[in-house]
């Protein structure tokens, strides 16, 4: 009784999180590439309801920050002018989900910029960059996981169902792929590509590489399921009635692997998001000025940023709810399939 509800809860949480990232244009107050060269490394700004004279404001407001005289990155609050926060305000143009042109933002202000999570070296709003960066990182993770699972299911089913030398060949190839140092592979691959790679090309490259190298583990799992399922009575019966291989695979065997594939998906997505972040962190991801969670963290490679601007760590925190959601979903899925299999006295385990 509790299990499906747990699953649903994780699932809803994830859907909400993804919607926020997918609708980054709406939730982010500014264009992620818009530079404010007068205000680099702006610390996160506070929202007040009580002003300096201890008067209560009904509408939340913030005090704009201004550069302290003669300094580069020291700011002080200008408490003389309170800038009210507006909700559903018109601002920078964007295209919702890449299609719907709009100018509506969930919050913003006129007269001064509000940077809730501070700004980076170019004065770009960190919150907007994290939200837009999430689109790149999450999409890379989801697409990568999609490719991996497709390849894994295909190869795993072929190996498990046909067996014999085909099985041998495919499984040895899988072992080879598991042993491949994929980070270096990517470095090498990048060296062969033309000099200037457009953001889209760089993104597709990451997705394809991540997707291509990860198929071995799901393939092995799927093969295991197929090996046991193909000997089950209902499969034998269907074959006895003259069902073709393709029909058997599609109608009887593939559905049996669904729970394994789903669990794998929930585990693989965060893994691949992390892979994308690693690549971008090392400068192999999407180029500036586009953001992704990885290249947002890249500035932390500099000692001066590391010790001076703590809010540059925040993109690392952004991944926490997503990972929590995916891993929670994975364990809920695993529990469900595990219980189901134990009931059936199955000979295989989901991991």
Q: Give the interface with another protein as residue ranges (CB under 8 A).
A: 33, 35, 37, 40, 72-73, 93, 95, 101, 121-122, 195-196, 198, 283, 287-289, 302-305, 307-308
C-beta closer to another protein: residue 53 or 304: 304
C-beta closer to another protein: residue 295 or 334: 295
> Quick check: 27 and 106 in contact, CB under 8 A?
yes
HSE-CB of 133 using CA atoms within 13 angstroms:
31
Smallest gap from Cβ 21 to another protein, in A, equals 20
C-beta closer to another protein: residue 99 or 234: 99
- Cis status, amide bond into 289, omega within 30 of 0: yes
C-beta closer to another protein: residue 10 or 94: 94
User: Any idea what DSSP says for residue 118?
Assistant: -
48 bridge partner residues: 61
Instruction: Give, in order, the Cα–Cα distances in Å from 20 to each of 15, 44, 51, 194, 289.
Output: 9, 20, 31, 35, 21
Q: How far apart are CA 96 and CA 104, in angstroms?
A: 10
Inter-axis angle of helices 254-281 and 126-162, to 10 degrees?
140
Q: How far apart are CA 204 and CA 190, in angstroms?
A: 12
82 bridge partner residues: none
Smallest gap from Cβ 201 to another protein, in A, equals 11
Smallest gap from Cβ 306 to another protein, in A, equals 8
- 307-345 burial, b for 16+ CB within 10 Å, e for fewer? eebebbebbeebbeebeebbebbbbbbbbbbbeebeeee
C-beta closer to another protein: residue 311 or 323: 311
C-beta closer to another protein: residue 231 or 288: 288
Q: How far apart are CA 51 and CA 238, in angstroms?
A: 76
Smallest gap from Cβ 114 to another protein, in A, equals 21
C-beta closer to another protein: residue 277 or 284: 284
C-beta closer to another protein: residue 49 or 104: 104
Closest CA to 267 of 181, 174, 339, 351: 351
Q: What is the DSSP string of 1-12?
A: -HHHHHHHHHHH
């Amino acid at each position: 009784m509790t299990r499906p509800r747990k699953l649903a809860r994780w699932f809803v949480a994830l859907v909400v999180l993804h919607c926020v990232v997918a609708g980054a244009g709406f939730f982010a107050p500014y264009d992620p590439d818009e530079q404010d060269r007068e205000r680099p490394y702006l610390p996160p700004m506070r929202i007040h309801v009580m002003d300096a004279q201890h008067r209560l404001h009904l509408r939340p407001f913030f005090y704009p920050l201004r550069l302290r005289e003669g300094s580069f990155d020291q700011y002080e609050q200008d408490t003389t002018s309170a800038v009210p926060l507006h909700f559903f305000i018109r601002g920078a143009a964007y295209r919702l989900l890449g299609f719907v042109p709009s100018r509506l933002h969930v919050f913003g202000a006129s007269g001064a910029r509000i940077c809730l999570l501070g700004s980076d070296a170019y004065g770009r709003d960190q919150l907007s960059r994290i939200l837009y960066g999430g689109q790149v990182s999450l999409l890379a993770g989801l697409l990568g996981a999609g490719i991996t699972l497709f390849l894994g299911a295909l190869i795993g089913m072929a190996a498990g169902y046909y067996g014999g030398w085909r099985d041998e060949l495919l499984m040895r190839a899988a072992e080879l792929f598991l042993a491949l140092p994929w980070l270096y592979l990517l470095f090498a691959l990048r060296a062969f590509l033309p000099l200037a790679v457009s953001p889209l090309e760089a993104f597709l490259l990451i997705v394809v590489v991540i997707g291509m190298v990860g198929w071995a583990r799901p393939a092995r799992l799927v093969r295991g399921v197929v090996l046991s399922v193909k000997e089950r009575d209902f499969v034998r019966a269907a074959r006895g009635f003259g069902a073709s291989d393709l029909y058997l695979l599609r109608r009887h065997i593939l559905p049996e692997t669904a729970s394994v594939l789903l669990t794998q998906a929930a585990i693989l997505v965060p893994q691949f998001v992390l892979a994308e972040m690693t690549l971008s962190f090392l400068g192999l991801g999407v180029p500036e000025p586009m953001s992704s969670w990885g290249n947002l963290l890249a500035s932390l490679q500099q000692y001066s940023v590391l010790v001076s601007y703590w809010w540059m760590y925040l993109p690392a925190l952004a991944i926490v709810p997503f990972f929590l959601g995916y891993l929670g979903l994975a364990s809920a899925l695993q529990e469900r399939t595990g219980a189901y299999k134990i009931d059936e006295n199955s000979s295989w385990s989901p991991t």
